[in-house]
Structure 1
Amino acid sequence: MRFFKKSLITLILITGVNSIAQDIHFSQFNGSLLNLNPAFTGFFNGDYRVGAIYRTQWRAVPVPYNTVSFSGESRIRPMMEKRDMVGIGVVFNNDRAGDTRYHTTQLYLNGSYIHSMKEDSSLLVSGGLNIGYGSVGFDYNKMTFDNQYDGLNYNQSTPTGEQFQWTNDNFFDLNFGVAGQYILNRKQRFILGTSIHHLTAPKISYQGNDVSKLDRKSSTYVQFVTPMTQKIDLVAELLYNRQGKYNEIVPHASLKYYLNKDANQAIMGGISARAVDAFILRAGYTYKNLQAGVAYDINYSKFTAATNARGAFEVYIIHIFFKKYQTILKKKPCPIFM
């Protein structure tokens, strides 16, 4: 029984910590920028930006995994610094997984400073920091144990013979990132961002001294946009994550077709690949200051037998708002990530 209990605790920790270590994982990383890198806070052409993204994963298993994230941000111009901006944002994440309803809830406050290296704003650099509070836990009443089986039937009212000191734990988190954007000839755009997550190496425990530490994670994001014709842009992206002994590389390529370039009305379609895990089909739509996208993961990992290749469905929406007077820079860059 003691071995069973330790194994159960280990399984819960591995499942939960893995989901946290991925920092609320999304296939459309451009739809959840503040989770990706705090330096992207305020890194857009406008005054306010709000967004939401929802992911449901492994619908073929009895209890799928569901994740949702909301974000809101604004940017202000510091006094005496006409070419610089300060970004302020907030992020809320919630993730629920499996029979035990293992959940992760996070609330982050983001801040960034964006500096224009050139007067026409064709070269921007940014540094950002976010401070967060997280809570993880599971529903003990959803769990079953061998003591509750009498050899023929399961009896929920039978004592489990198990005890957890607690079923929830909280932690403080700190993340840092830098980013830059360079616009070439007013047509091509290059964005690079890198961030370090879990600077405080938070510790999570449900049982005495059985502690699991969240390793620091480095994340690098690259985006390159270039026109192929007057109506078609090529969008290439790459995300690289490293945490402990684990690595993740997600390349992506899509085409953006403009229906009305003056109104930024366009449709997008592309494909990504997550090594040894899934192919990701992505589609998107933009109109003026609105951006939306959907994605579907086709799973091909060893877990395919359980998922029936049904990985995940994901949808996001982002909207940028302007004040009555525009506070944009002298040369209007392409709307970032639009």
Structure 2
Amino acid sequence: MKSFFIKILTLSSILLIFTSLRGQDIHFSQFNNSPLNLNPGLTGSFVGDVRLVANLRNQWSSVTTPYSTYGLTIEGNTILNTPFNVGLGFYNDKAGDSEFSTLQIAPSLSYTIFLGDSSQTITIGGQPTFTQRKINYDKLQFDNQYNGLIYDPNLDNNETFSNEGRNYLNVHSGISWNYNIASRKSIAAGIAFHNIFTPKQSFFNDDNIQLHKRFTFHTNGLFRVSDKLDAVPSISFMTQHKFKELIIGGSAKYHLNNGNYKAAYLGIWYRNSDAAYFTAELDYGNFHFGASYDLNLSSLKVASNRRGGFEFSVIYIFEKYRPTIKRYKACPNYI
């Protein structure tokens, strides 16, 4: 009987691996705080000179070995006083008992077009990406390692695996639009196309298993409500093969105007048939801090007790020192 359950668990693990290989991309609940992962067209879309972004996500610790995702990106805009922007992203994701990991290195390049009085911009970006995926078979348990009484890790699993990893190149692209209507009033939107090359994913040389193309639409706004309060709604919609994801929600932004403490945010979000989550954010000097917690609403809620995971983000924007130039008017020479 125990051997039977071990076989079932092994089969389930393999199915989970194939599911991840076929459709899972690195993603964050705080999608607006991970711009290069959301849309290459957002490269350089910020006020300042250099932007650093760090993301951390920890999920499913209440069910199994936690799924951990990390991201670190750096961007520079209007490079050498041109409309070009550059960025570089590093992402790492590790999932489950098998330590199935995904490592991505993603440089990006974009071009910004200023419209009219420069209150509107359109940015077009591309992002070639190197990805390495690996699995640690030594962390898995197989029925051949059951000696009749207990599981014995010293026994040979008698399984043959063709390889433990796969490397591939991929390409993403996107376009974003920003419109600063007035002080504390703006709207933005963008579309992105990921996995344009649909790279092969199988560890067993099965050409039918590919990473499907993913389409993303996102939009957000900023609207003044009162002297100190703004509304910040946002929507993200993604579709990949047969899967669709809709995130809708928003935050209330309260202007603190207390030295470096600039603004605080509280938000609530819903991800279709999967989770609801809450966000708390803070603008402090040139920093933006974000924290969120997911409440699981999917069929896994029976095992997870509705607990999803924590996520944190930190953004820092460097601004070059630009000395104030005093301009003097020539005094008229009266004769």
Give me the whole-angstrom Cα distance separating, in 2, the residues matched to 1:284 and 1:162. Answer: 49
Residue 262 of structure 1: how far off its partner (Å): 8.4
- 1:33 equivalent to 2:31? Answer no
Please state if 1:291 is matched with 2:288: yes
Q: Which amino acid aligns with 1:42?
A: G
Larger radius of gyration: 2
Quote the Cα distance in structure 1 between the aligned partners of 2:80 and 2:155.
64
From 257, 260, 263, give the equivalent of 2:257: 260
Distance 1:141 1:321, change over 3 A: same
TM-score, normalising length from structure 2?
A: 0.90
Tell me what 1:103 maps to: 101
Counterpart in the other structure of 2:180:
183
Q: RMSD in angstroms over aligned alpha carbons?
A: 2.1
Q: In the alignment, does 2:156 pair up with 1:159?
A: yes
Contact 2:193 2:213 (C-alpha < 8 Å) held by counterparts: yes
**Counterpart check, 1:148 vs 2:139:** no
Match of 1:59 among 44, 49, 61: 61
CA distance in structure 1 between the aligned counterparts of 2:288 and 2:157, rounded to whole angstroms:
50
Identity %: 32
Residue aligning to 1:335: none
Give the aligned residue type for 1:89.
G
1:282 has 2:284 as partner: no
Structure 1's 261 and 7: CA in aligned 2 closer, same or farther, altered over 3 A?
Answer: closer
* 1:126-137 correspondence runs (5 A): 126-137=123-134
Q: CA deviation at 1:75?
A: 1.3
Displacement of 1:57: 0.2
Q: 1:68, 1:94 within 8 Å by CA — same for their partners in 2?
A: yes
Q: Which amino acid aligns with 1:93?
A: Y
Q: d(CA) in 2 for partners of 1:312 and 1:295?
A: 8
In 2, Cα distance between equivalents of 1:65 and 1:184: 41
- Compute the displacement of 1:9 (Å): 4.1
Superposition deviation, residue 17 in structure 1: 3.8
Distance 1:99 1:127, change over 3 A: same
8 Å contact 2:184–2:230 — kept in the other structure?
Answer: no
- Partner secondary structure for residue 186 of structure 2: strand
Deviations 1:125-150 (A, max 9, x none): 11000001001111011011111112
SS of structure 1 residue aligned to 2:198: coil
Distance in 2 between residues matched to 1:7 and 1:92, nearest whole Å: 30
Which whole-Å CA distance do the structure 2 matches of 1:270 and 1:208 have between them? 45
C-alpha distance in 2, partners of 1:6/1:254?
A: 42
**Deviation of residue 260 (structure 1)?**
0.6
Preserved contact between residue 200 and residue 207 of structure 2 (Cα < 8 Å): no
Q: Is the contact between residue 87 and residue 111 of structure 1 (CA under 8 Å) also seen in structure 2?
A: yes
How many residues are matched? 318
Aligned-partner residue type, residue 103 of structure 1: S
Structure 2 CA distance for aligned equivalents of residues 41 and 116 of structure 1: 15
Is 1:315 paired with 2:312? yes
Moved over 6 A (4+): 3-7
Q: 1:18 aligns with which of 20, 23, 41?
A: 23
Q: 1:175 to 1:264 in 2, by over 3 A?
A: farther
**Quick one: distance in 2 between partners of 1:103 and 1:73?**
25
- Cα deviation digits, residues 34-65 of structure 1 (max 9, x gap): 00001111111110000101000011023010
Separation of aligned partners in 1, 2:197 and 2:317: 33
1:46-85 alignment, distance < 5 Å: 46-77=48-79, 85=83
Which residue identity is paired with 2:35?
L
Matches of 1:150 and 1:77, distance apart in 2:
64
Counterpart Cα distance in 2 of 1:7 and 1:267:
44
Of 202-211 and 104-113, the range deviating more from structure 2: 202-211
Give the deviation of 1:212 after TM superposition. Answer: 1.5
Structure 1 counterpart SS, 2:280: strand
| TM-score, normalised with respect to structure 1 | 0.89
Q: Mind listing any 5+ residue stretches in structure 1 that lack a counterpart? A: 327-338
Structure 1 residues 191, 261: CA separation in 2 closer, same or farther (over 3 Å shift)?
farther
